[in-house]
Structure 1
């Protein structure tokens, strides 16, 4: 997949712009705070109609404006030329594919895959379990509609059970939602375990390339209870009722799963250096891109937001060499890319304006 044009209006600090993108490599250069990341944030919307930086749409709309608009023209391996339009208002998000309004997120999520390489990614290694779980759920949802549907059903039942716990609901009421959670939750556990096993192989390969075989890398899945069937998971929910009623929240289940990044069979968040952690999350995103391509047959567009500052020159060069040769790359930085990295279409970014400049040729 390649994005051929991006039009934005009142999106963050970008009042109005339309960019025609030619070739496979685009680079947005300028000082920090000018709008480079905002452009990549907008491009990432095509995958799941959400920002990789903010959960609240009101932060994405230019100050003093009632709404923001995003429009994309894309070339797609399976669907040909495609138009996607998105409008954002406070508390409201609307989208159209061609001229048809999107009524279900499941009709869009993962259809136009992008993979974001961000400086925030290091929190996936050393941050909270919720961030890792969110990444895993989005990755699986983008390639497996059944997983997405099960995830939605599980969390709806979880929300209902939590509401009952706050009201002091009875055992029969709680059991009804626990059964729904168990039926869908055991599928989530199985899918996560299988996916992490496959992604671990891809992570190992990518990390070996970037780090030049410096140390073996992988994952360790840490489910919140090792349940092989719905009956055992439902029994766990039932056993936790008294505690959960006291806590007024569901304290156990797939919504509390986690996984660790490993180097030399040790937890990377504890033992890895800053450079190793940076190489790990770059490798994770490369693994994610390969996963998307294998599962969907669509090559993701890669969005690289000034991510290479923590790497030494050799690892930085190996990262660029590891990117898929047929993938579109939209990248940002405070200085223009090195000439040997390829033929870039370059835009200078200044206070939300994007001006084409002479491309760097390799």
Structure 2
């Protein structure tokens, strides 16, 4: 898929922008604070329903404005086209598809697929488990049609169970929510395990190119409860502890995964640069798996590429992307060396104070 057009109103410091994107490489150049990252953030929001930057949803809206909006014209490999959009106001999010209001945000998120590597991406390796679960679940969401609905059922059951735990209710009152939670959890866990098995193959290939010095890679997935145990038994055994703490301590919401290398078995053995390359490899291999399973590439966003990677690795990444069919959005203060070479083609934009102008 590709984003043929992106329209933005009042996103951070971008008051208004309408961008006609090229099918392959799109380069956004400008100084620090110009608004380049916000353009990638807009594409990411259409795909994930949340920003890759930290902060509250309210901070997305330009100061002094009541709402912000993002609309994209999405073209798929089968020739179909969708106009998707999101509006954020004080009352929350509102979605649009081809001018109509869908039943939920899930329908919009299925149309646009975007993976992103940005300055905070190293948290995928070094940060808390929440980011890794989101990464994993985004991939599963685009593979398993029922995943979004089952995940929503699980979150509802978890919320109800936690509320009952805090109210000091009996195990009998918990029973129906335990049953619903377990039913959803088993399906989520099966889907996640299957996805990790597929993704690990491609990840090993990309890491072999970017970090060959670390040797073979192994991905370890943990379900969020005691290995080999049934979740219903774990919930029953932990009920007093959960009641004392006021929340459910075992389940898919505690799942995690980690990466270990033959020559760097612990995360602490990795440098910050190696963490970034690991995170980049995760994004690229996820994009490749999406293409393998869905028959089209997601959009690949690379924020501030030159400051995150040295020239050797920039060239390696751009060469990798040049060999596939993905649309790429790159930001930077200057043109990457590889894209400055004769014969290199990229649609180029200049960004200054939230204004976007097409150069080439």
TM-score range, shorter chain: over 0.9
CA contact (8 A) 1:57 1:89 kept: no
Structure 1 residues 162-311: aligned runs within 5 Å: 162-212=162-212, 214-226=214-226, 232-264=230-262, 266-311=264-309
Q: Distance in 1 between matches of 2:254 and 2:260?
A: 20
Q: CA deviation at 1:308?
A: 4.7
Q: CA deviation at 1:60?
A: 1.1
Q: CA deviation at 1:110?
A: 3.0
Structure 1 residues 22-171: aligned runs within 5 Å: 22-54=22-54, 56-78=56-78, 80-171=80-171
Q: Distance in 1 between matches of 2:314 and 2:265?
A: 24
Q: Distance in 2 between matches of 1:105 and 1:34?
A: 30
CA contact (8 A) 1:12 1:62 kept: yes
- Provide, for residues 37-62 of structure 1, a one-character-per-residue CA deviation record: whole Å limited to 9, x for no partner: 00100111222333222574321111
Q: Which moved further from structure 2: 63-72 or 163-172? A: 63-72
Q: CA deviation at 1:158?
A: 0.7
Residue matched to 1:356? 358
Q: CA deviation at 1:254?
A: 1.7
Q: Distance in 2 between matches of 1:4 and 1:187?
A: 36
Q: Distance in 2 between matches of 1:112 and 1:196?
A: 22
**Closer/same/farther in 2, CA of residues 94 and 123 from structure 1, 3 Å limit:** same
Other structure's SS at 1:209 match: helix
Q: Which moved further from structure 2: 72-81 or 193-202? A: 72-81
Other structure's SS at 1:100 match: coil
Q: Distance in 2 between matches of 1:142 and 1:125?
A: 22
**Closer/same/farther in 2, CA of residues 5 and 109 from structure 1, 3 Å limit:** closer
CA contact (8 A) 1:6 1:19 kept: yes
CA contact (8 A) 1:67 1:87 kept: yes
- Provide, for residues 116-143 of structure 1, a one-character-per-residue CA deviation record: whole Å limited to 9, x for no partner: 1111110011111122112212221132
Other structure's SS at 2:111 match: coil
- Provide, for residues 183-210 of structure 1, a one-character-per-residue CA deviation record: whole Å limited to 9, x for no partner: 1111222222221121111110011122
User: What RMSD in Å do the two structures reach over aligned CA positions?
Assistant: 2.0
Q: Distance in 1 between matches of 2:253 and 2:140?
A: 15
Q: CA deviation at 1:318?
A: 1.1
Q: CA deviation at 1:311?
A: 3.3
Q: CA deviation at 1:213?
A: 6.1
Q: Distance in 2 between matches of 1:171 and 1:308?
A: 56
Q: Distance in 1 between matches of 2:199 and 2:188?
A: 16
Q: Distance in 2 between matches of 1:2 and 1:37?
A: 18
Q: CA deviation at 1:212?
A: 4.6
5+ residue gaps, structure 2, are none
Q: Distance in 2 between matches of 1:236 and 1:214?
A: 37
- TM-score normalised over the length of structure 2: 0.93
Q: CA deviation at 1:109?
A: 2.4
CA contact (8 A) 1:106 1:145 kept: no
Q: Which moved further from structure 2: 165-174 or 187-196? A: 187-196
- Residues paired across the two proteins, number: 356
- Provide, for residues 153-181 of structure 1, a one-character-per-residue CA deviation record: whole Å limited to 9, x for no partner: 11111110000011001111112111111
CA contact (8 A) 1:72 1:83 kept: yes
Q: Distance in 1 between matches of 2:232 and 2:214?
A: 44
CA contact (8 A) 2:214 2:263 kept: no
Q: Which moved further from structure 2: 1-10 or 303-312? A: 303-312
**Closer/same/farther in 2, CA of residues 9 and 224 from structure 1, 3 Å limit:** closer
Q: Distance in 2 between matches of 1:103 and 1:113?
A: 19
